[in-house]
Amino acid sequence: MKEPLVLASSSPFRRMLMENAGLAFEAMPAAIDERALEQEFNQTPTSPSQIALLLARAKALDVSARQPGAIVIGSDQTMSLGDRVFHKPKSREDARDTLMALSGKMHQLNSGLCLARDQHILWEGVSSARLHVRELSPPFIESYLDRVGDKVMSSVGAYQLEGEGVQLFSAIEGDYFTILGLPMLPLLEALRNLGAIDG
């Protein structure tokens, strides 16, 4: 009898990726304050990829305390431009500012993953992707924001690569699943190694 899998997330994108991979799991969001934890982590020098991993770990450990015996999958993503970490825009103005900051530059998406059982970490890792945004003119940004509407506030970079956001880029280096926020290939390998899914 394999241990049940629990995804410590309310993200519809992460649930969709797990379902599409044929995994049987439950979803249960973690009861943590991500921004407060991030401030705590930043008391000491912490890279954006470390923050993604620490948040993934916090989610996995929180949910594993409520799901005894289950393998809990915690995942979190940060978006960074140099040392600057971005969050989901709260308004159209925030989204515009984000797109102007990213215009003509390369930014990084860091997806942290942690597997835990009974509050013990079984495996963890970080996958990163580098995304090159082309030069964006202010009129293009305004028309993009008009077309995308409120969806722009559901993603950290004010874009969804699987939608119109693909128009923002000149090049992408990295795994598609990492960009969507759940690095499926390392996750599946870790689950196979733990005997949680068939190999």
CA nearest 5: which of 80, 87, 71?
71
**Which is the catalytic residue, given 76, 83, 94, 97?**
76
Sequence-distant (6+) residues with CB within 8 A of 79 are 48, 85, 86, 107, 108, 109, 110, 156, 157
135: which strand partners? Answer: none
Alpha helices in 65-116 (DSSP H): 92-102
With b meaning 16 or more CB within 10 Å and e meaning fewer, what string describes 5-28? bbbbbebeebeebbeeeebebebb
Q: Do residues 113 and 71 lie in contact, with contact meaning Cβ atoms separated by under 8 Å?
A: no
User: Catalytic residue at 76?
Assistant: yes
Question: What are the CA-CA distances from residue 177 to residues 5, 96, 146, 181 (Å)?
Answer: 19, 26, 27, 6
The catalytic residue positions are 76
